[in-house]
Amino acid sequence: SADTKFIKIVIGNENDSVFIEIQDKGIGISEEDQQKVFDKFYRVTSGLVHTTKGTGLGLSLVKQIMDAHKGKIELKSKVGEGSSFKLSFSKKSQLNNGEKNA
């Protein structure tokens, strides 16, 4: 039914990276909006979404954090079917400022 909620969290590793993937069976995100959802203050214009409070900062912050950790975020979504966000991190150490392993 429309009242049924579904979220799936998958944790794993592929090749040289580890990941966490969050999937839902929500309303989905259009291809056009997928290009913008990581922009600060962007909110999807669908009428259904604006019944949910928010500022449009959440995904922008996630992207900034992933970039700071040299990670990758992937979005797959289809309107009416749901969305999947996959956060991937390299297994290799990413040391900053010329630091060396002790």
Q: What is the pLDDT of residue 102?
A: 47
Strand 17-24 versus strand 7-14 pairing type: antiparallel
| CA 33, chain centre distance (Å) | 13
Q: What is the pLDDT of residues 54-72, one digit of tens each?
A: 777 888 899 999 999 999 9
CATH of domain 7-90: 3.30.565.10
pLDDT, tens digit, 9 for 90 and up, residues 17-51: 999 999 999 889 899 898 898 888 777 776 555 45
Q: Where are the domains of the chain?
A: 7-90
Q: How far apart are CA 24 and CA 36, in angstroms?
A: 19
For 13, the enclosing helix (H) or strand (E) is: strand 7-14
Centroid of chain to Cα 83: 9
The CA distance from 82 to 51, in Å, is 17
Task: Check residue 92 and give its pLDDT.
Answer: 85
